[in-house]
Chains A and B, each alone.
Chain A
Amino acid sequence: MTSLSLGEIEALALKAARGAGYDWGLARETGRAVRWLWRHDQRGCAALVDWLDLRAGTDPALHRPAWQQAGLKADLFMCPVSAGCILSDHAHDLPDRLTLQEVTCPLLVLPFIADAAGLCGSGMIVTGPKLEAHLSADALNLSGDWSLVCATLEVSTQACVLTSEDHQHRANPSKDVRARLENWAHKTYAPATEASRLLGAGAGLSDND
């Protein structure tokens, strides 16, 4: 029984992102994005843990994108979650075509583009090197190898909206990926101490009454 519920996978992704240093709001967005990917039969956990491992020890400000000409660019390889949030937040102001320069683990940005599609009531096409994705709020059609580490993407609006397809409702990350995410998540837990055990939860330790 190795499958996880979508609630579990979302919670794990959220905690892993937080453990890796994201603010709670972005951690929450990460959880939602990974859940969306699994719903659409994509291995969101592998993409996330690869990204968290890559960015470890670097200054987050370097991955944060800024608007530049016809798209978004970061000083160093672009954070897919930050980029995604910007796209979704600006859904109504996006140019018909825009470029995401060197976005890391680009699979992770797709749920946000889907959100933007939903907010505008349109579809979106995302293309990259031997990559293509057609998205609407709740539908995804991918071709190419989206497990690559970094790609420059073109995002454009299209009028036609994909119809919603059957969704997955469980997640099956590999043991290794899950363990790596749990490692990141573990950084959100306070080390247990005898004092905190006695005080923190209030109850005594034995209940025979």
Chain B
Amino acid sequence: MTVIAPETSLHLRDPAVVMRLRRLGSLHASRLSFMRILTRRMACEHWRFERPAFAVNDTGTGHAVYTAHGPARSYSLVAFAHDLPDHLRSDRVIAEAWDATFALFDGVPTDEDIERLRQNVPHQEAGRVSERELTLSRANRSVRLWDHVVERLAQGRQPDADQLVRVGYLMRTTAVYGSGKFGAADRAQIAQRPEMSAPFQAEMLTVYLIRIFVRDLVEHHARLRGGDQAVPLADDLAAGLGIGNSTGLGMAPFLVNHPVLFNNWILARETAIARIRALPQASETEWRQFTTLFEQCQARLAHWQSDHPLQIAKLDGLRQDAGRIQARLTSETVLDGQPWNRLMIWAETALTEEGQEWLASLILEPYGALVDDLTDQMADDVADTVRLDGRMSVGTVKHLIRQSFAWALELNWQNTKACARAWYVSAEKLEPRLGERHDEPIADYEQPLAPARDATAAYEALAMWEDTTPVARFLMAHPDHRLAILRAQLVANAPYGEIRDNTIDADMLPIDMLRAKLSFFGAGQFDPRSDRWVRICMYAGAPYPQNLSTDNADFWVYAQASS
């Protein structure tokens, strides 16, 4: 029997170590990822899937509906296929047309619903959805792979497996909007539903259903081109394909704007890691499961490609780390004396950050029964209700600021490099952008995404007041510091809430923030295209509904890519 250490005696990693951007930018997916929460649930609860409509015509345009039936409620993806000219295809927020557009409907849509959605969904941000819709999204083809697959299937042949593996997806989403955006239902409307209580479940379900649609659509195009000669995509090849995602700066502010939520994600993961490290021993079965998954993961590393110099360097480091881990596992024969803890301690000096975080995720895998409950704590539906506590003393507020930002108080924020950047929103389709403060006229439009700088400014102002003064009085004289003080109070019990790096530094890499969030989604194959744009793949290897079961609902992430 495995004895779990009580939480109070668990040793969690120091936020000052974990919350650095370089480490956050090295996070890997784990069994606590939002995608796996969903697939586990759907398998366990025997969700039923059907396709009430597939009305895509001879020009490849039209709509389709895919419905997922849970034990209490149903959700339907309404998908629209379009005929997009190549020169209009863009992953940017400023795009105005796409290969496919989607809405996740709360229930099963009527013809009137579908017609209403047809008038709006293809326009995305320029249209409106209603409280009956939970998400709004769009996707573009990977042009080369799409054409190759359609051509082969039309000829009655299967596509080239290497090409499929290299790209990984036939379509990639370029935004998946939820939580009340563009008229969709607020999160509060669904947060109490068990199947929606974990973070981003509506978005994860949307992408799962999009994947089914994309497979159907590519086969439809093949039939249009090849007629009777066309064949469906082989099951094993289809299984290896995921849905790509192209993520830019829009996602980065999220982590800064939701510190308590972000804390809950990191805290769940760190608690899981600590629980496993506290185990006095590992059984032969658990160890074997770990080493098997490690080997599958190591093999999968070969397929993780990127052209970006930063990522290439990280991947080189990770592959070398994999070799080091392999050597260590081969020589390790002692399964007691806290084997996982010894492994992680070794990793701290032997591996890169990528390797350490990769290992941290892997050690959780044999222990679903010990850690999966932590996913219940990953949501946050409370922080928005928290009011500023005016009774708190100036001294206490300063202490709270020091907790997360002691390092920031030492920085010279006037230094050109330290405040080189400014986050802003462009009037052009409200696209979030990151600019150079000293070179562009954007300072007046700066978004509040430099909490370290703002906390420092608040601290300096607070230092002029008696420590015993209630902060309410300070705020009457200094309303401009309200946000920083509210934030300090908010994260008082959220040790992993703040990024412990300067988010407006000249050298800051937005992709570190994107990767952190995407790793919690369950994404893999991180492929940065610049310092602020990354492509990933979701659900590659995942079972389609007809094959989904509790046997594969978790470890599909380690399924061998076809080769």
Contact = CB atoms under 8 A, between A and B. Distances in A.
Interface of A: 1-8, 23-26, 28-29, 32, 64, 66, 82, 85-86, 88-93, 115, 118-119, 169-170, 186, 188-193, 195-197, 199-203, 205-209
Interface of B: 86-87, 89-94, 116, 120, 128-131, 140, 142-144, 179-189, 246, 248-249, 384, 387-388, 390-391, 424-428, 430-436, 440-442, 444-445, 448, 470-472, 475-476, 479-486, 510, 529-533
B480 A23 contact: yes
B479 A23 contact: yes
Contacts of B480: 23, 25
Contact of B483 (A25, A93, A191, A202): A25
Given A28-B483, A188-B445, A85 B426 contact: no
Given A8-B180, A24-B448, A85-B479, 15 more contacts: A23-B479, A25-B479, A25-B482, A88-B387, A91-B390, A93-B470, A188-B425, A189-B424, A202-B530, A203-B90, A203-B92, A205-B90, A206-B87, A207-B91, A209-B142
Given A202-B532, A207-B246, A192 B92 contact: no
B434 A200 contact: yes
Contact of B89 (A5, A119, A192, A207): A207
A115 B407 CA distance: 34
14 contacts: A7-B181, A25-B480, A25-B481, A93-B391, A93-B472, A169-B186, A169-B188, A169-B189, A190-B426, A197-B94, A201-B433, A201-B533, A203-B91, A203-B529
Contacts of B533: 201-203
A93 to B, nearest CB: 8
B183 A8 contact: yes
A20 B311 CA distance: 43
B131 to A, nearest CB: 6
Which 4 A-B residue pairings sit nearest by Cβ, starting from the closest?
A25-B482, A7-B180, A200-B433, A89-B390
Nearest to B458: A25
Nearest to B471: A89
B427 A201 contact: no
A32 B386 CA distance: 11
B184 to A, nearest CB: 6
Given A4-B183, A92-B391, A202-B532, A208 B483 contact: no
Given A207-B90, A207-B140, A23 B482 contact: yes
A4 B440 CA distance: 34
A89 B481 CA distance: 14
Nearest to B88: A206
A18 to B, nearest CB: 9
Contacts of B128: 1-2
B442 A206 contact: no
A189 B430 contact: yes
Nearest to B482: A25
Given A7-B181, A201-B93, A201-B532, A90 B390 contact: yes
Contacts, number: 171
A4 B130 CA distance: 8
A205 to B, nearest CB: 6
A31 B86 CA distance: 41
A169 B86 contact: no
B188 A6 contact: yes
B535 to A, nearest CB: 10
Contacts of B448: 24
Contacts of B249: 200-202
B106 to A, nearest CB: 13
Contact of B426 (A4, A8, A189): A189
A191 B427 contact: yes
B476 A86 contact: yes
Contact of A66 (B142, B181, B187, B476): B476
Contact of A6 (B182, B186, B441): B186
A205 B391 CA distance: 51
A209 B131 contact: no
Contacts of B471: 89
B130 A209 contact: no
B476 A190 contact: no
Contacts of B440: 193, 195-196
Residue of A170, A193, A199, A200 with most chain B CB atoms under a 10 A cut-off: A200
Contacts of A85: 388, 475, 479, 482
Contacts of A191: 427
Contact of B445 (A7, A90, A190, A202): A190
A201 B476 contact: no
Contact of A192 (B183, B189, B426): B426
A1 B129 CA distance: 7
A190 B181 contact: no
Contacts of A186: 427
A8 B179 CA distance: 9
B529 A202 contact: yes
A66 B188 CA distance: 37
